Structure 1
């Protein structure tokens, strides 16, 4: 059993997901492990951002809608589960999406910037850092635009584990 599978088994028990029964018997939640992914695009970002999640400072994230489209990836839905890993691929948190909305980059508000938990948690910081991120790490060829659609996601931690010693 790999680290992510073992984490998933522990997280189901801790978050009481495995006991949810479906009409047909065992819960689909227990049968299907959610995807594992890291925040950011670099190992340093992955570690910094998962640290903010574990502290409870980061409760939101944002992505370029154009990246979802370029990768033919579905947008998250409320209730989507995910396993957040650090730069070493070690699972650290099970999160559930609680809200999803798409807005133009220049309409992201102060509340969302604060919920992302980065830097001084200001909208000015969020815009500066995310303009750089969306410019440098785009999966699409449209470049950066102030009116580009951004997917804003809020999440809640269902289970977290400290870094292994």
Structure 2
């Protein structure tokens, strides 16, 4: 029997629960990549990260939700660092595990994501997070 969000929050006190992506379909896709071990990193705009009530921190846990807002796995943050959109490397893009793993794909999709959120600039600051899969629920 799968654990409920409430059970996971008891097991991992203070762990934020959220989905990656900007649509239910993308959230499902990205959660699947995490579970498969292909996605071990993510990034977000610094100003959005600062506005979060509960932020990932090295050693901390996060509950990953799918597109239906159901918990599917738990990750543990292994690192956080600041970079800029135009300084993301091919290796960093590959860690995100998306598409064909290329920097071109990463730039295209992340530019689309940030533009749809209303804030894109090639020099925008990003928080880049690396993580490991802890538990599949």
TM-score, normalised via structure 2 length: 0.89
What stretches of structure 1 of length at least 5 have no aligned partner? Answer: 13-28
SS across alignment from 1:76: coil
Which stretch of structure 1 is more off in the superposition, 32-41 or 71-80?
A: 71-80
Deviations along 1:72-105, one digit per CA (max 9) or x if unpaired, are 5465321121000111121111100001111111
Counterpart Cα distance in 1 of 2:52 and 2:62: 18
Aligned 1:10-159 pairs, distance under 5 A? 12=11, 32-69=13-50, 71=51, 73=53, 75-138=55-118, 143-159=119-135
Which runs of 5 or more residues in structure 2 are unaligned? Answer: none
Root-mean-square deviation over aligned CA pairs: 1.8
Shift of residue 137 of structure 1?
Answer: 2.0
Please give the per-residue CA displacement for 1:45-85, whole angstroms capped at 9, x wherever unaligned: 1100001001110000010112224x354653211210001
Tell me, yes or no, if the aligned pair for 1:62 and 1:152 is still in contact at 8 Å: yes
* Residue pair 1:59, 1:116 contacting (<8 A) in 2 also: yes
| Structure 1 contact 110–123 (Cα < 8 Å) conserved | yes
- Which residue of 2 is the match for residue 6 of structure 1? 7
Higher strand share: 2
Could you say which structure has the greater relative contact order, defined with CA pairs below 8 angstroms and 6 or more residues apart?
Answer: 2
Partner secondary structure for residue 28 of structure 2:
helix
How many positions carry a matched residue from both structures?
135
Larger radius of gyration: 1
TM-score (norm 1): 0.75
